[in-house]
Amino acid sequence: PKREKVPDIVTSGLDTVAVRMPSHPIALQLIQYSKCPIAAPSANRFGHVSPTRAEDVLSDLGDSVDFILDGGPTLVGVESTVVFVTEEEIILLRPGGIPIEDIEKVIGRVNIKRKMSKLLSPGLTKKHYSPKTPLYIYEGNLEELVKINRDDYALLTPAPLLVNDITIYPLSQAGDVKEIAANLFHQLRKLERMDYRAIIAIPVKQSGLGHAVMDRLIRASTGTVKIENQKFVFIDR
């Protein structure tokens, strides 16, 4: 629960405040020099793909900020994990860079609630992190996918995949989930600048950091896509 000295603008009017400590040396130096807590929103337009490089921030915010402190590409790629702590339980609000399995090793069981009466954390809206090009989650087997001939769609995959005429954009050469997470937003930003009708994303395994990756893909998506009679069928949500 926040104290009165924490302004409402910091917590979007909520009566709780989230606290985190970064590990990046430049961010730690900034806090040390400031000699006070720092409250700041994410450095991107609401709903758009999160920035992972200084040029992403410049592209989104331009002259509306005075300067950009460039610490290089983000190491994790996806945003922080957010948990809500009460006297009775600990609830996962947003999966992120620290997998829930690692948190539970330290503090015990963390509950996952799918529906809440109000938004208790950033990044919980159904539509978020979205590229300008529509993104769809693929539902189906890969055997059907390799028969499709459509070069006007981009295929975003966890690892390299052999298909006919769809251009493949693997997030990791070895299917490593840490590499997938680190590259996800950067690749989405690259793809939205290309002339594709849609981005089709192959799901990743939902364990460890994969929970956060799939959470971002689902929130970024317009819907799902399947194959019928060797044609894509898009289902908006």
- pLDDT tens, residue by residue, 137-147: 999 888 888 77
pLDDT band, residue 115 (cuts 50/70/90): low
User: Whole-number mean pLDDT of the chain?
Assistant: 89
- Residues 59, 188 contacting (CB under 8 angstroms): no
The pTM assigned to this predicted structure is 0.87
Alpha carbons 73 and 190: distance in angstroms, whole number: 15
Confidence (pLDDT) at 128: 77
- Residues 15, 86 contacting (CB under 8 angstroms): no
Instruction: Domains for the chain: give ranges and CATH numbers.
Output: 8-112 (3.90.870.10), 135-236 (3.40.50.11030)
Confidence (pLDDT) at 123: 60
- Helix or strand or coil: residue 68? coil
Alpha carbons 172 and 43: distance in angstroms, whole number: 25
193-236 tens-digit pLDDT: 999 999 999 999 988 999 999 999 999 999 999 998 888 899 99
Confidence (pLDDT) at 129: 82
Torsion angle of C-alpha atoms 21, 25, 30, 31, degrees rounded to 10:
30
- Residues 77, 182 contacting (CB under 8 angstroms): yes
Q: Which has the higher per-residue pLDDT, 121 or 10?
A: 10
Mean pLDDT check: name the lowest of 119-128, 159-168, 221-230: 119-128
